[in-house]
Amino acid sequence: MHLLLILGIVFAIGAVSFALQNDIPVTVVLAFWRYDSSLAVVLLLALALGVLIAGLVSTPTVIKGQWTRARLRREVVGLEDDKAILGRSLLALEMQLAQGTPAPVPAPEVAATYVGLKTLLMANDRS
């Protein structure tokens, strides 16, 4: 960023020195508009207009980049909070494991064996 600023300043100094050496009167005509001035003023106005247009064109990209950086920072903070919570949970589980008292594990349910209708009817006949 600083390098671009330095290059911009060098370019501006070069443009001003070029404009000051070329102070010939000129006339700029655009449709019905007519402007009489020195070549230096016309060149400086053209340079200023170019800088203004470049700034306006690059503004949406800069704003989008700032929004993206802000969103990513918020996401990083959220992920760091999640990491801290998981770290505390892991520490609590390790302490519980070190104490030798694991959390009670529920016993698996024993599935009842399927008794068919025929078996039920035949068992009632024998009684």
Better pLDDT: 6 or 39: 6
At residue 97, does pLDDT exceed 80?
Answer: yes
Give the pLDDT confidence of 12-58 residue by residue, as tens digits: 888 778 877 877 888 988 888 898 988 888 888 888 899 899 999 99
Give the pLDDT confidence of 18-28 residue by residue, as tens digits: 877 877 888 98
Rounded to whole angstroms, the Cα distance separating 17 from 14 reads: 5
Rounded to whole angstroms, the Cα distance separating 75 from 63 reads: 18
> Looking at residue 59, what is its pLDDT?
93
Distance in angstroms between the alpha carbons of the first and the last residue of the chain: 97
| Predicted TM-score of the model (pTM) | 0.49
* pLDDT, the chain, mean: 85
Sign of the dihedral through C-alpha 11, 12, 18, 24: positive
